[in-house]
Amino acid sequence: MKKLSIFLIYLIGTATCSLYADPQNDLVKSIYATLEKKNWVDKRFAFIVWPDYMNLCEDRLRDRKKEEEFGALMQSLGAKNFVKDFSVDAEKSLNPEITRCLTALLKTKKIDLIITINIIAGLYKGFLYGPILDNRVFHFSAGKTDLSQQATLRLEADGKEVDELKIHKDIRRLSIRNRFLYRITGMSALTDLETINVSDLDLQNIPKFDFDRPYSISMNNNSIKDVHATDFDKNVFSIEMYRNLIEDDVWFCDIDSIKEVNITRNKLRVADCLLSNDHVEKVSGSFNYISNISARKIGKKLQFLDLSYNGIRSFPWNAVNESSLKEVDLSNNQIYDIVTLNLATIEKVDISKNPTLKVVVGEKSKNLRLLRISPNAVVEFSNSLKRCESGDKVNKTAPNGCVVVEYE
C-alpha cells in the first residue's frame, strides 16, 4: 500500500510539472543567465519573434505580442534596456546594399543585442547575436514538439512512392526539397501558410497544390518551359519563376487572380499579355529576350513594371499615359523613341542606358519624382514642372513640383 501511495504521488507530481511547464519562461531564463554570465545585462536588446524559421525578414511577419511578453519577462529578471520599437524594415532600408537581413541588422546603432525566437509546434528556439558579438551566435531551446500541432502532407513525385512530410500547422513559408514533385495534398490543415517554395528542384512542370486560401509560389531555378493558365488555381496571387526556360506569356492572358509575377532571367521573347492583363499589379521581366512590344494597352491595375535588360526597341508610350503605372524600369534596352510622359500616377521612370535622345515630361506628371536617363538625352518640362536642384535627393530634400534627373 505504501509503494502504491508513493507511485501515485510520483504520477501526480509528473503531471503537475507537465501542466505547469512554461517553455517561454524557461527560454528567457536561459538567455538571461547568459547575459548575466557575460556581463551583458545592461546592454540594449530587442526581441524578434518569427512564426517559423526566418526565411522572410519583414516587420509584418513579427509576433509583436509575444515580443512584448518576452521583453517583460527579461525586464522582471533585471535586464531593463528592452528596445520595444526596434524596426527590421528601417534597418534594412539603411543598408540597401546588404542582401542578407541578419547582416544588415548587425550594422544597427540602436541596440547591442538581438534575440530572435522561433516558435514551432510548441518548441521554442532562441538565437542571441548582435553588433557587440561579431560573428558569434548563442543558441537556446525550450519545450518540445506538440504532435497535435503538426500536419501530414503527402508529396507525390513522378516515378516515385508517395512521401509523407510532418510539418507544423502554423508554418508560413513551406519549402519542399523533393525533386520531380508532381502534387502535394493535405495542405488544408496549414492554418497560416503564405508561400510555397519549390525552387531548385529541376522541375519541368508546375506542381499541383490543394491549398484553399490565398498563397504565393516560388518556383525559381527550375527547368520549366511550358506554362498554362490551368497550372494555377484561383488562390494563387503571386508567382516567382526567375531562372527558368519560359519563352512566351500567352498563358498569362487568361489569368485573373495573380497580382504579382516575377519572370526574370527566362527565355521570354514577348510580354504583351503581361502588359495588357487587367488584374496584375506588378511585373518583373528583366534579363529576357524581348525585342518588340505589340500591346496597345496597359493593364488597368498595373503599377510596377520592370523590363530592364532586354532588347526592346520601341515602347507604347501612349498606352502608358492612359495607365495607372507608378514605377517603370526600361533601362538597358534599345529604345529610340521620343519618350512622352504625361501620367498623373507616375513617380519613377528609368530609361537609362538606351539610345533615347529626347524625353518630354507633360503637365499631368506632377507626381514624378525621379527620372533616370542616358547622358545624351534632352529633357523638356511643361510649365508647371521643373528639374530639381543638383543637391536635392529623391523623397528627402526635393521640393514638390520638381523632378530629380539622374544621368547614367
pLDDT of res. 53: 60
Residues 129-135: what's their mean pLDDT?
85
As a whole number of Å, the end-to-end CA separation of the chain is 91
Residue range 26-36: mean pLDDT, rounded: 94
Question: Is residue 19 over pLDDT 70?
Answer: no
Model confidence pLDDT, tens digit, residues 284-293: 999 999 998 9
Are 357 and 376 in contact, with CB atoms under 8 Å apart? yes
> What's the average model confidence in pLDDT over 231-253?
96
**Residues 62-68, mean pLDDT to the nearest whole number:** 92
Set of cell numbers at residue 276: 495588357
Average pLDDT over every residue of 309-316: 96
**CB-based burial, 248-264: b 16+ in 10 Å, e otherwise:** bbebbeebeebeebbbb
Instruction: Look up the pTM and report it.
Output: 0.79
Q: CB-based contacts of 147: which residues, under 8 Å, 6+ apart? A: 121
Question: How do residues 198-218 score in pLDDT, each as one tens digit?
Answer: 999 999 999 999 999 999 999
Q: How many helices (H) and strands (E) does the chain have?
A: 7, 23
Q: What is the mean pLDDT of residues 54-72?
A: 85
- Residue 162 pLDDT exceeds 80: yes
User: Quick one: pLDDT at residue 3?
Assistant: 43
Interatomic CA distance for residues 345 and 407, integer angstroms: 22
Measuring CA to CA, how many Å separate 174 from each of 79, 153, 199?
35, 11, 11
Out of 45-49, 168-172, 289-293, pick the least confident: 168-172
pLDDT value for 340: 92
The predicted-structure confidence for 73-118, as pLDDT tens digits, reads as follows: 999 999 999 999 999 999 988 888 887 777 888 889 999 999 999 8
Average pLDDT over residues 260-272: 97
Taking only the tens place, the pLDDT of each residue in 317-361 is 999 999 999 999 999 999 998 999 999 999 999 999 999 999 999
Q: Rounded to the nearest 5°, which phi and psi values hold at 14?
A: -65, -45
Q: Can you spell out the DSSP letters for 152-198? A: EEEEEETTSPPEEEEEETT-SEEE---TTEEEEE-GGG-SS--EEE-
Instruction: Tell me the average pLDDT across 389-406.
Output: 69
- The pLDDT of residue 397 is 42
**Is the pLDDT at 7 greater than 60, yes or no?**
no
In the predicted model, what is the mean pLDDT of residues 175-197? 90
Domain with CATH 3.80.10.10 in the chain: 148-405
Highest mean pLDDT, choosing among 16-30, 56-70, 200-214 = 200-214
Q: Which CATH superfamily is domain 148-405 in?
A: Ribonuclease Inhibitor (3.80.10.10)
Using only C-alpha atoms, what is the Rg of the chain? 27
Grade residue 392 by pLDDT with cuts at 50, 70 and 90: low
Q: pLDDT at position 400, please?
A: 67
Q: Does residue 221 carry a pLDDT above 70?
A: yes
Mean residue pLDDT of the chain comes to: 88
